[in-house]
Amino acid sequence: MERNTDKQASLGEKAYQEIKKWIIRYDLKPGSYLRIAQLSAQLEMSQTPIREALSKLEREYLVNRLSNQGYVVRSMDLKEVEDIYDVRIALEVMAAEEAATHITGVTQTKLSHILEDAMNLMNKGDKGRTLDLEQDFHMVIMEASGNHFLVDIGKGILERIWMIQNVNIFTSDHMTVAHQEHIEILKALKQRDPQKAAALMKKHLQFAKKFVISRLKNSDDFLSKLLAGFPDSRSLGER
């Protein structure tokens, strides 16, 4: 019995991670219907772990439950995007300040390698993988803060940032500027200057927020992709 319970929990976690990845990576867009039977067939498992996964995703505000009809991927409104960035700024400014005090040589090297790899990918025109690495840069800094609660909350915030960036709103010019700002943040961390690291992080993220909000407000195409909840006639089984 205990072994079956563990297996069920493992399947629930697998389903949760897989569906969440589809949502964050924008394979499932806002408004996409998620039917339990089709998810069960797609993931080749019973409906019980699927229900557990969807309930967890509902608690994380990634899906909404439809009465007797399954679930639907949530859309964001502009206020929610602004709120996400405001929380991100508060968390990551704190993280940068703490990381400047606690950062190790190993972490400094890891951050340097991330930025080197990101620049190489940027030069090759690989925007998607570049953005992934630039986000990894932020995650490593949060981990370097030594605050596990901050890391847990920050991970959830970055997942929503990944959703926004997967709408493809970032231009090459913006990415170049952001990359240079990352280099300056790393310099401050290496200098173990908490105030400078925090100030640079705040400036960096405030610029990112302003850029994203401006792009969303001035492009109906982006708004339709990210903000407007639209009924997507496709369900997961029809992808």
CA dist 93 and 101 (Å) reads 13
Residue, of 164 and 231, whose pLDDT is higher: 164
Confidence of residue 219 (pLDDT cuts 50, 70, 90): low
Written as one string, the DSSP assignment of 118-147 is HHHHHHTT-HHHHHHHHHHHHHHHHHHTT-
- The tens digit of pLDDT for each residue in 165-188 reads 766 566 778 889 999 999 999 999
* pLDDT 10s digits, 17-61: 999 999 888 788 888 999 999 999 999 999 999 999 999 999 998
The mean per-residue pLDDT over the stretch 58-68 comes to 89
**DSSP three-state, residue 70:** strand
Measured distance CA(107)–CA(29) in Å, rounded? 35
How many angstroms separate the CA atoms of 169 and 82, rounded?
A: 15
In the block, tokens 């019980």 appear at 48
pLDDT of residue 127 exceeding 90: no
Could you give the CA distance from residue 232 to residue 94 in angstroms, rounded to a whole number? Answer: 39
Q: pLDDT value at position 230? A: 40
The span from the CA of 199 to the CA of 189, in Å, is 12
Question: To the nearest whole number, what is the mean pLDDT of the chain?
Answer: 87
pLDDT at 144 over 80: yes
Using an 8 Å Cβ cutoff, are 208 and 165 in contact? no
Once rounded to an integer, what is the mean pLDDT over residues 76-83? 89
Region 54-83: mean pLDDT is: 89
Residue 34 CB coordination number (10 Å): 26
Residue 239 has pLDDT above 50, yes or no: no
pLDDT cut 90: percent of the chain above it: 62
Domains in the chain (CATH in brackets) are 2-74 (1.10.10.10), 78-222 (1.20.120.530)
For the four alpha carbons of 171, 172, 173 and 175, in that order, the dihedral sign comes to positive
- Residue 184 exposure: Cα atoms within 13 Å on the Cβ side: 14
Q: Quick one: tokens of 120?
A: 């190489």
- Return the pLDDT at 223: 54
* Euclidean distance between CA atoms 87 and 36, whole angstroms: 33
Q: Does residue 198 or residue 176 have the better pLDDT?
A: 198
